[in-house]
Structures are given as structure tokens and as C-alpha cells.
Structure 1
């Protein structure tokens, strides 16, 4: 099995304000499939970090271990310095398949996490309406999931994750089910959310272009068993025209360098 060749990038900056710390995490599934091996990585406060790598390299496995939805075979995950032993209120998960309640309105779906926490109805609906507006769904509060497009349902899932005010938002290929036009719009909206919310985003994607476009840091995983192959910090100014990012020489060079590295595994 080919290893991923090192990329020609400067060493990433040292993380001084880590919200999530993964330490020597390995995952062995029943039947002997080694998904992850000795993974150690930090996720900085207020930044979006993408997990990128070949299919089967353990991206979603690592995300679910951080979320507390899956136990590690060995190693530890710390969130705000505390060991993860299961799901917790400081983490929110945006599922690839939306995971909406089909019998509930948009407002009820977005408010559901707050409802589980016992937040009073008036307060949780006020918070939910704020994030429904923020993700561009104002006016759809009383619609049901079957009345929405796939992209709109994804926005509901994102609003629900934002509404619980978790420190860490985990997103598992959140834009994979939408068309290219909506995907680009969602990517732009995500950059705005990262800038405004100041939370720690952990984002799984198969798309090199998407990872480079939205990420402050890219954690590149090797083919199974997943290990840290490289950590890349694209030096791109995201404060100006969003479309200009895709024309930026650093964006183009980073996309090409990651592709050149990944395709050695496909050869």
C-alpha cells in the first residue's frame, strides 16, 4: 500500500488554544479492520479544520470518536481539557443525512436540542428563529422536512447544531447531497458562520477544492489505517470577495499539491 508523499508546505503553526485534543487514538473494528492508528492532533478555537484523505482512511470514524458516538480502541480525546466518554453539550453534530424528524416543523426540528435540555419553549423558539434566519430559512419555520429541498433540509440541520451553542460543531460531508451551485453557496455561508460564531468547526469532506476553500487547517490522513500524513494551513485571506479565493494562487497551488500527493495512492 502506497503512503501519501509529504507535501511541500511549511510546518503548521503550534496550536496554543486547543479546544479538542486527540491523543494517540487508534480504532480497531470487529473483524480486524484497523481504521485509525496512533492519531494525535489538535483543533484550535475559532477555526475550521477539515479532515481529508482517501476513502476508508477513517475521517468519519475520527469525527464520531470526537463526538462521543464511537469509542476509541485506545488513546484519548479531550474537549476543553476534559476526557470524552460519550456525547456532551459542548459538541454538536451535523449529520450527512440531515437526521430530521419528519413529523416536526422546521422550528421544532431546530429547537429539538434545546427542548432536550429543558429550555423553556419561548426561549428555545426565540433562539431557533435567530438561527433559522441566519441560515437563510426565514419564512419556512412552519414547513415540514418533506416540503423542503435537500439543501434546505441541510440548512435546518446546521441551524439545529448552532442553536445549542456548543463549543464544537462537527460536520460529516454536510454538502455532499446538494448540487454544485448550492454547494458553493453553502461554502460561502459556512465561511461567514465561522467568522461570526467563533466556534471550533471540524469538517469532513472528500473534496480537495472544498477543503482548501473553507479551511483554516487541513488534516490530511493516510490510507487505512488512518494516520496524520500532513497538516496544511492555506495562507488565504478570506475577508474579501469569496469568489476571489478560488482564483487565489495559494488556493490553486494548494489544491494541486494535495492532489499530487493523494494520487500517488491511486496509482
Structure 2
């Protein structure tokens, strides 16, 4: 067996504890079959990327896990509890930031806590901690229109972290920023995965990004979507953020995923 074959083998499912279980999920939009009998396990405390061609159902699956969409059939479990709608165990980081334009940074970051009835002093202390963690210290009183796109996305990430959800759902969160900011976000995300002890589910169109940030990559086929392959990069995960992209095995996995997806790209 080659080294690359070893890297893409799916491990024994019993060896990894799942935070989120997707079981036989199908989703129809009228006559359009978006997802078909899709099953997938998301290991606790790790980052799983959903990767595939445009229109393959990545965001649909993410919204079903979030409880924002109801599946046609099948079920989702988070920590053994069936998902019947949105819940405090999951937080969503949107592609378009979804900030309140009339609220400053600290109010935006603390909004989820405010909706839970957390007292002002407590929620502001929590918000300030995560504002510092995402690199926005000093901008607590700024408003969204005063921030760059990258800074607004950091506010959205801090808001998701502040509610202390066990599962963070991220829908192409870095797609609206420039390449330099995107690379910095990717590095920061690796640190969050290591330090926050949360389960991250990350939608991206970028093969390189998926391989860089992920403990597990689920490749989805075009509609009706189902899981084509599970890849678990491992050999370069602890080599440091500056060394991953130069690692030969990183490059091999990127090439292997592209070879797998090439025929599905129009």
C-alpha cells in the first residue's frame, strides 16, 4: 500500500467519537433531489470540511445540521440528541457576515448571549474575551460599516464562539475576503480547532483550503449528493502552519482530490 493510499484510508469508525451523526439524509426541493441517502460522521473536537462541485448540496447539508432546513427523510443527531430545529449546541458562521448594522462590535458579538438573557456585564465580558481572541481588540465600539470585510468576518466568528456552542457550522466563511486575509484566517482557524475543543463543520470550494485546515474531508458528488470519499490528512498536521503547504504529502492529497473531482467540474 502506498503512502498516499494510507493517508486517504477511512479509519475504523469505532476509533473516533462522533459529535454529529448524519444518517440517511435525503432532501428534495419539489422535483429536484438535492441529497440522497447521505450518511456521515463528524468526529468530536475536529474540523471536517465538506468539499465538492458547486450545487452539490454542501450548504443544504450544513443548514439541515443547523436545524434551519428540514430533511425529506433521515435524521441528524448532535451528541446523541435528534435535531428538530436550531439549538444552543450549534452556532452558524455565515458567508455574508450577517451582522446587525445598527449595533457596534461588542453588541454584535454578544447578541446570542443577549437573546439567552445573559446579564449585560457578563455577556460584555465574554464578548470582549472573544473579540481579543479573533484579533479585534480596540474595535469594540466600532460599527460594521467602519470595518473591512475581513474584520466583519472576525466579528461573525467571535459571535459564534461567544455562545459556547459545541458545534460550529461555517459556510464558506473566508470566501469574501482577499487572499492574504484568507490565509491568515486559515492559520487562526487551526489555532481555534486546537484550543477551543469544539467540533467544526466547514464548507469550502477550495481544495487547498480544505486540505490545509481539515482533520477530515468529505468529498460530495453532484446532485443528488452523496459521500464519494472520506480523506483524513494526518502526516503534516503537527508540522506548523508555515510548513503545511510545502509538505509533499499535502501536495499529493491536493492533486488526488482534484483528480477525483475534475470530471464533475463543468
Distance 1:204 1:54 in 2: 11
Q: CA deviation at 1:266?
A: 3.0
Structure 1 residue 263 and structure 2 residue 262: aligned?
A: yes
Give 2:225's aligned residue: 226
Secondary structure in 1 aligned to 2:238?
coil
Give 1:101's aligned residue: 100
Runs ≥4 in structure 1, deviation > 4 angstroms? none
Distance 1:198 1:236 in 2: 21
Give 2:184's aligned residue: 185
Give 2:28's aligned residue: 28
Distance 1:17 1:236, change over 3 A: same
Distance 2:238 2:125 in 1: 30
Deviations 1:66-86 (A, max 9, x none): 000000000000011111010
**TM superposition score normalised by structure 1:** 0.95
Q: CA deviation at 1:239?
A: 3.2
8 Å Cα contact 2:236/2:247 also seen in 1: no
**TM superposition score normalised by structure 2:** 0.95
Secondary structure in 1 aligned to 2:129?
helix
Deviations 1:43-93 (A, max 9, x none): 111100000001111000000000000000000000111110100000000
Give 1:3's aligned residue: none
Secondary structure in 1 aligned to 2:173?
coil
Secondary structure in 2 aligned to 1:242?
coil
Mapping 1:12-161, distance limit 5 Å: 12-15=11-14, 16-30=16-30, 32-161=31-160
Secondary structure in 1 aligned to 2:98?
coil
Deviations 1:162-201 (A, max 9, x none): 0000000000000000000000000000000000001000
8 Å Cα contact 2:174/2:182 also seen in 1: yes
Q: CA deviation at 1:235?
A: 1.7
Runs of at least 5 residues in structure 1 that lack an aligned partner in the other structure: 1-6
Secondary structure in 1 aligned to 2:242?
helix
8 Å Cα contact 1:12/1:232 also seen in 2: no
Distance 2:203 2:111 in 1: 24
Give the RMSD, CA atoms, in angstroms. Answer: 1.2
Deviations 1:87-106 (A, max 9, x none): 00000000000000000000
Distance 1:163 1:17 in 2: 24
